[in-house]
Structure 1
Amino acid sequence: MSPSTSVAPATLTPLKRFAKASTTTCAAQATAYGKCILATYTDVQKDICKAEFEQFGRCMRDAMKRNW
């Protein structure tokens, strides 16, 4: 059996908004976080990229209009 490819539009809308927010709206914050991870992945420490992650998360919450 193949999985159904039809998805209700109401279900897909949040996913589309999330994808757009993470790749377009918050691209600068995502890039800063990614660069921090890339620069420090060999020296893993707790909260090493915390500031960048918080900025990215704040941007995503604002873009998605949600407070998680």
Structure 2
Amino acid sequence: MPGRTRPIDKFATAVGQCSKESAVYGKCILADYNNVHKDQCAVEFMKLKDCYLAAYKKR
């Protein structure tokens, strides 16, 4: 169906717009990856999630 965007395409575009937040979250996890525990990078994850959701809704 022309003009219709698949959800995975929207998600891929949103992910591409959040590279800064992805890098910050990845660095947080990488800093102590041998001792990862719950909520270790919760703040960074929430910023990444918010970016994904905002970018997804724009699309």
Residue aligning to 1:18: 11
Is there any run of 5+ residues in structure 1 with no aligned partner, and where? 1-7
Report the Cα distance in structure 1 between the residues aligned to 2:6 and 2:18, rounded to whole angstroms. 18
Larger Rg: 1
1:1-68 matched pairs, under 5 angstroms: 10=4, 13-22=6-15, 24-65=16-57
- Superposed CA offset, 1:5-53 (max 9, x none): xxx664x53211211211x211100111111111121112210000110
By relative contact order (CA 8 Å, sep 6+), the higher-ranking structure is 2
Is there any run of 5+ residues in structure 2 with no aligned partner, and where? none
Report the Cα distance in structure 1 between the residues aligned to 2:32 and 2:11, rounded to whole angstroms. 26
Letter in 2 for 1:36: C
The Cα RMSD (Å) is 2.0
Q: Percentage identity across aligned positions?
A: 41
Query: What secondary structure, in the 3-state scheme, does the structure 1 residue paired with 2:35 have?
Result: coil
TM-score (ref. length: structure 1): 0.70
TM-score (ref. length: structure 2): 0.79
Regions of 4+ moved over 3 Å: none
